[in-house]
Structure 1
Amino acid sequence: MDDINKQLVFTTEDTGKENKTPSPDAPDKQCGTWRLKITPVDYLLGVADLTGELMRMCINSVGNGDIATPFEVSQFLRQVYDGFSFIGNTGPYEVSKKLYTLKQSLAKVENACYALKVRGSEIPKHMLADVFSVKTEMLDQEEGIS
């Protein structure tokens, strides 16, 4: 989690003075840091949205033949889910709703990892993405999403 937070620091070329908009044609430019203020709830909702994108990246990486990424993503999603579990239903309604979606994303990634570990040698690599997309559709139908 700390690695991701470190990567979320964006820099821009600045004249070195605080609170001044950088000029595109200023000759002596130095790196400055932008600060963006968001509420804790918005931050949590953004992290929860990130988990859905990571789930898609995991399934796509399997289709591309990258077998290591799903296991790394699964471990990270488990840590995020554990963190969200501490909040539980005490947070705002949107956060508890995202927790349910996060749990679904984690289940899909864990199912993909399970299939890779147990049945990976049985399924040709070019067919893995199709197998996981069918499983995902079946899970969504069971839960009444589609």
Structure 2
Amino acid sequence: MKKEIKTTLTQNIFRILLAIFMVYAGFSHLTFNRIDFQAQVPDWIPMSKDLVVILSGIVEIALGLGLAFWKKKRAKFGWALALFFILIFPGNIAQYLDSKDAFGALNSDKARLIRLFFQPVLIAWVLWSSGAWKSWRANKNKN
């Protein structure tokens, strides 16, 4: 049986901050930033850009709420959110390569390039703050 990994107060604070950010970002996908998020959907995705933005917004809200409130599955939500960050990364790359402006601040190639380096930070943040990485290592060592 898998042992539940305890997280520190610092991890919990950072996890809740990330969860709030994800719920906010998901809400903004569905409302006031919907057009800006469409700039991140690569042209090669065979779906409506608006549908992709809506679906990703719903996923962000669900992952954020799960990360915040579902204690027994926290590590799984951490892995799911890390995977989500990996899956959306090609959209960030496409936005940079296609020089598509968004959100006011992403209005230059330099700004879009700098943004790319924050994706690994988000992945590390969620794996650490959710206890996902520590849980994986602890369970790996049991086998």
The TM tier, using the shorter chain, reads: 0.3 to 0.5
Larger Rg: 1
Q: Using structure 2 for the length normalisation, give the TM-score.
A: 0.35
Q: Name the structure with the higher strand share.
A: 1
